[in-house]
């Protein structure tokens, strides 16, 4: 029985998609940058340097990292909700600009006027940071429409959470995306609790990958804590959309270690549950263990990467603390006035 169990386990392991050494190292670095950046953002919020809302991505790093690795940077569009810092970092935006936006400084990516929840970069094809729950599904569908209309071969990747998945506009977007066969990949980041209510209490059906069934949109549940699984699924979904087959839904089963926002004490779940995820499912610890086991890295090289990332984050924090606030004239820029 023991031999059979071992054989079964080996067979299961062999079915897991594998990344190259370069991909594993890239994924590790990107996820570590998000983690350390978010930890520093949390500290700065506690110090009163970041105002308003602040939603951290700690625990969910494998989702945006694997998906972005599977996409075409600079070509494919991405759009998400207000938990957006990690998305911008992995898409290649300057950490100093991201952090300065959090502190409301002129060097921020939205010149200090958007804050944590509203960041944007047309150059990198990142269309927000959107504060209205579920709005990014509609806007992401619009980006897909633009891609098809222009015939540029790009794909729109629209992220939203399990809470937003119950919004009516999401289903209107599904219908339009399929009706017009748009190149959109809808990413449902299911971190189980939305703003603070478990999916069992808020959703009649908890398999979000099937939410597009009535529109004939295929979907797939993915282990969002394993960057290999995310990358593999995203690669197939993006190719599906890019090849003219229409939209695809990926439900990423993930978990956030912090509350919904920095002001959320997260009393709706137990400390033991959070600890279990951290100890057994952490996406960064998983990839770190693989790098060492495969001989792709050593403890010394990983420590060097850690030091490099910490230096980048420290530089970003220093910049965001000392950069001047926007000039008062910025109150009148980027404003549309209708008579």
Terminus-to-terminus CA distance in the chain, angstroms? 78
What pLDDT, on the 0 to 100 scale, is given for residue 15? 81
Continuous segment of H or E residues that includes residue 250: strand 248-253
pLDDT value of residue 13:
53
What's the mean per-residue pLDDT of the chain?
93
Would you list the DSSP string of 69-124?
A: HHS-TTTSEEEE-S--HHHHHHTT--HHHHHHHHTT-TTSTTTTSSGGG---BTTT
DSSP at 245? I
> What pLDDT, on the 0 to 100 scale, is given for residue 305?
97
Query: What length does the chain have?
Result: 339
Count of beta carbons in the 10 Å neighbourhood of residue 33: 23
Give the pLDDT of residue 14: 60
pLDDT of residue 286: 97
On whether the CB atoms of residues 164 and 203 are closer than 8 A, the answer is no
Q: DSSP letter at 181?
A: T
Residues of the chain with pLDDT under 50: 1-12
Rounded to whole angstroms, how far apart are CA atoms 161 and 261?
Answer: 14
pLDDT score for 132 = 92
* pLDDT tens-digit series, residues 47-68: 999 988 999 999 999 999 999 9
| DSSP state string for 269-316 | S-HHHHHHHHHHT-HHHHHHHHHHHTTS--HHHHHHHHHHHHHHHHHH
């Amino acid at each position: 029985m023991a031999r059979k169990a071992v054989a079964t386990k080996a067979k299961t392991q062999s079915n897991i998609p594998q990344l190259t050494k370069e991909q594993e190292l890239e994924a590790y670095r990107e996820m570590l940058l998000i983690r350390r950046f978010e930890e520093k953002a949390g500290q700065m919020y506690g110090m009163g340097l970041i105002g308003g809302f602040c939603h951290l991505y700690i625990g969910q790093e494998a989702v945006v990292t694997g998906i972005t690795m599977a996409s075409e940077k600079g070509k494919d569009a991405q759009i998400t909700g207000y938990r957006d810092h990690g998305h911008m970092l992995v898409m290649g935006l300057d950490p100093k600009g991201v952090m300065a936006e959090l502190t409301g400084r002129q060097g921020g990516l939205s010149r200090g006027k958007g804050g944590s929840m509203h960041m944007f970069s047309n150059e990198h094809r990142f269309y927000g940071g959107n504060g209205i729950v579920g709005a990014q599904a509609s806007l992401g569908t619009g980006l897909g429409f633009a891609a098809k209309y222009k015939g540029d071969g790009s794909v729109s990747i629209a992220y939203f959470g399990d809470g937003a998945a119950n919004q009516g506009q999401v289903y209107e977007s599904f219908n339009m995306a399929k009706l017009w066969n748009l190149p959109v990949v809808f990413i449902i980041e299911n971190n189980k609790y939305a703003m603070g209510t478990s999916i069992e209490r808020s959703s009649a059906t908890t398999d979000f990958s099937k939410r597009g069934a009535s529109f004939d949109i295929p979907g797939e549940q993915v282990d969002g804590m394993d960057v290999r699984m995310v990358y593999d699924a995203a690669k197939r979904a993006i190719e599906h959309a890019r090849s003219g087959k229409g939209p695809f839904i990926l439900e990423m089963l993930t978990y956030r270690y912090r509350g919904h926002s920095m002001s959320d004490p997260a009393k709706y779940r137990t400390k033991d549950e959070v600890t279990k995820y951290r100890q057994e499912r952490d996406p960064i610890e998983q990839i770190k263990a693989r790098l060492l086991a495969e001989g792709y890295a050593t403890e010394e090289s990983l420590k060097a990467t850690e030091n490099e990332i910490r230096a980048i984050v420290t530089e970003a924090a220093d910049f965001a603390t000392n950069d001047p606030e926007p000039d008062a004239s910025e109150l009148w820029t980027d404003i549309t006035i209708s008579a």
